[in-house]
C-alpha cells in the first residue's frame, strides 16, 4: 500500500518540522515539504498532529490479559496488538527462565514469533535472570534465580531459539563476568539489573561487556556518598544506556529529572515494564501464581511491592516530557531512536527518514494515539480519529 501523510508535525530525534511523508511498500520513500498528489496514492491529513517514529519497548512482560509466562499460542499476538494501541511498533518480550523446567512459555513464544503479528513487531526476548541477586529479586520468584552457569546459558540459548536479544544480569555473582563476556561474544545485550553490586563490581561488569541497565534505580542499591553503589558507575560510564520507567511512581518526578540531567538524551531509554493489566482497567490480576492489584497505572502485590506498570508507552512519554520539559525531538530519542540503537536497528528504525521502515505513530498534542503504522500497515486507529 502507498500513502502520503500530509500536514504533519514530524518529530525526529534531530529536530521537528512540518511536512509530508510518502510511504511505499512498507518503507518511507520521501520526507518533508509538500509531496505531489498521485492517483494511486492514498491521502491521510494529519492536520498538524505529531508524527513520531514508532516507539520501541525493550521491556514489556505482558498486556491485554496475557503474560509472556503464558504458554499460550496467542500471547505475542495479544501483546503485539495492545502495544500498537499505545504507539509501539516493536518490542522485546520480557520474561523469566526457570532452571530445571521445560520453559514451555519460551518455546511457544518462539514458535508464535514466526507467524505474522497484527500489531507491533516482536523483536526478540529479554530475560530478567536467571543470573540475578536473590537479595534484589523484586517481583521475580526465587524459582527463576540460579548461580551463573555457562552450561545453563547454553540451555537458555537453545530454548529461545536464537531470539534472545537481552539478558539482565547481576555482575557481582561468581561466574557472572564469564556470562557477560559470552553474551557480548554472541551479540546479546548484557544489561545490569536486579543486582546488589558495589561501585567497583559494577565497573567490572561494564568492563566485561555490560552496555545497558534494566529499570534504572529499581532493584539496585541506592546512591550513597560513602558507598556510591552501581548508580555512580552507571552515570560515569558514557557507553552505558539505561531504561527508565517514567511513571512518577517507580521513580518520582524529581529523580526522573535528575537521571535526565546526568544521563542526557542519548542514554535514556523509556520502557513500560508493562504487565498483563496494560490495556485493561483497574482491578486484581494474577502474575506467576500470585495476585496483584493494578490501580492508576501502577501494579503492586498485596505487600506493596511494585511489579510493573499498566501504562502505555505514549502515556509514559507524555509523563517524561511533563517531568523534564524536554523538546519533542528528545522524546523521539528516548522512546524511539535510543531503543533502536540498543538493538542495533538504527539503519531501519528510530527516525522518520527516507529508506527506513514505515514504523510511525500519529499523536494528538496530549500524546494520545490516533494511528499506528507498522511497516506501512495501519495496525491501530483510534475511534476518535478524524483522518
Cell numbers that stand for 142 in this block: 526465587
Please choose, from the candidates 30, 100, 105, the residue with its C-alpha nearest in 3D space to the C-alpha of residue 73.
105
Q: Which three cell numbers stand for residue 197?
A: 553490586
Among 101, 59, 65, 126, smallest CA distance to 287 is for: 65
Query: Which neighbouring-strand residues pair with 23?
Result: 3, 28
Nearest Cα to 354, choosing from 18, 58, 25?
25
85-118 in b/e form (b: 16+ CB < 10 A) is bbbbbbbbbbbbbbbeeebebbebbbebbeeebe
Residue 144 C-alpha cell reads as 527463576
Question: Cell 543486582 sits at which residue?
Answer: 195
Contacting residues for 68 by C-beta, under 8 A, at least 6 apart: 61, 62, 75, 79, 93, 94, 95, 105, 109
The answer to whether the CB of 129 falls within 8 A of the CB of 145 is yes
- Counting Cα atoms < 13 Å in the Cβ hemisphere of 81 gives 11
State phi, psi for 102 to the nearest 5 degrees.
Answer: -70, -20
Three cell numbers at 345?
536497528
Tell me the DSSP string of 162-194.
T-EEEEEE-TTSTTHHHHHHHHHHTTPEEEE-S
d(CA 62, CA 58): 12
Q: How many CB atoms lie within 10 A of CB 57?
A: 32
Give the residues across from 19 on adjacent strands: 8, 33
For the record, the C-alpha cell of 368 comes out as 494520545
Cα separation, 78 vs 111, whole angstroms: 15
**Which residues are marked as active site?**
273
Amino acid at each position: 500500500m502507498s500513502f502520503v501523510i500530509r500536514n504533519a508535525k514530524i518529530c525526529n530525534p534531530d529536530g521537528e518540522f512540518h511536512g509530508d511523508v510518502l510511504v511505499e511498500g512498507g518503507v518511507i520513500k520521501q520526507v518533508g515539504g509538500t509531496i505531489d498528489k498521485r492517483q494511486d496514492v492514498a491521502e491521510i491529513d494529519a492536520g498538524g498532529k505529531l508524527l513520531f517514529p514508532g516507539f520501541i519497548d525493550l521491556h514489556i512482560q505482558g498486556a491485554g490479559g496475557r503474560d509472556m509466562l503464558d504458554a499460550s499460542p496467542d500471547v505475542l499476538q495479544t501483546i503485539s496488538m495492545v502495544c500498537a494501541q499505545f504507539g509501539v511498533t516493536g518490542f522485546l518480550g520480557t520474561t523469566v527462565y526457570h532452571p530445571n523446567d521445560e520453559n514451555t512459555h519460551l518455546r511457544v513464544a518462539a514458535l508464535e514469533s514466526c507467524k505474522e503479528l497484527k500489531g507491533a513487531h516482536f523483536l526478540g526476548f529479554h530475560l530478567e535472570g536467571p543470573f540475578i541477586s536473590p537479595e534484589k529479586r523484586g517481583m521475580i520468584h526465587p524459582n527463576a534465580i540460579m548461580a551463573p552457569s555457562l552450561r545453563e546459558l547454553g540451555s537458555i540459548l537453545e530454548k529461545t531459539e536464537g531470539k534472545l536479544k537481552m539478558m539482565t544480569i547481576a555482575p557481582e555473582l561468581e561466574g557472572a563476568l564469564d556470562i557477560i563476556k559470552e553474551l557480548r561474544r554472541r551479540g546479546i545485550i548484557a544489561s545490569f539489573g536486579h543486582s546488589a553490586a558495589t561501585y567497583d563490581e559494577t565497573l567490572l561488569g561494564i568492563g566485561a561487556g555490560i552496555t545497558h541497565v534494566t529499570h534504572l534505580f529499581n532493584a539496585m542499591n541506592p546512591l550513597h556518598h560513602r558507598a556510591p553503589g552501581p548508580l555512580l558507575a552507571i552515570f560515569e560510564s558514557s557507553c552505558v544506556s539505561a531504561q527508565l520507567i517514567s511513571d512518577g511512581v517507580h521513580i518520582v518526578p524529581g529523580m526522573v529529572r535528575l537521571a535526565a540531567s546526568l544521563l542526557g538524551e542519548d542514554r535514556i531509554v523509556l520502557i513500560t515494564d508493562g504487565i498483563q493489566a496494560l490495556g485493561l482497567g483497574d482491578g486484581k490480576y494474577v502474575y506467576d501464581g500470585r495476585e496483584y492489584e493494578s490501580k492508576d497505572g501502577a501494579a503492586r502485590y498485596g505487600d506493596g511491592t511494585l511489579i510493573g506498570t499498566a501504562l502505555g508507552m505514549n502515556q509514559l512519554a507524555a509523563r517524561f516530557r511533563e517531568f523534564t520539559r524536554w523538546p519533542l525531538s528528545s522524546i523521539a530519542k528516548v522512546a524511539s531512536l535510543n531503543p533502536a540503537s540498543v538493538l542495533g536497528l538504527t539503519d531501519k528504525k528510530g527516525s522518520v527518514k527516507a529508506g527506513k521502515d514505515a514504523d510511525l505513530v500519529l499523536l494528538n498534542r496530549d500524546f494520545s494515539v490516533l494511528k499506528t503504522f507498522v511497516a506501512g500497515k495501519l495496525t491501530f486507529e483510534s475511534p476518535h480519529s478524524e483522518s
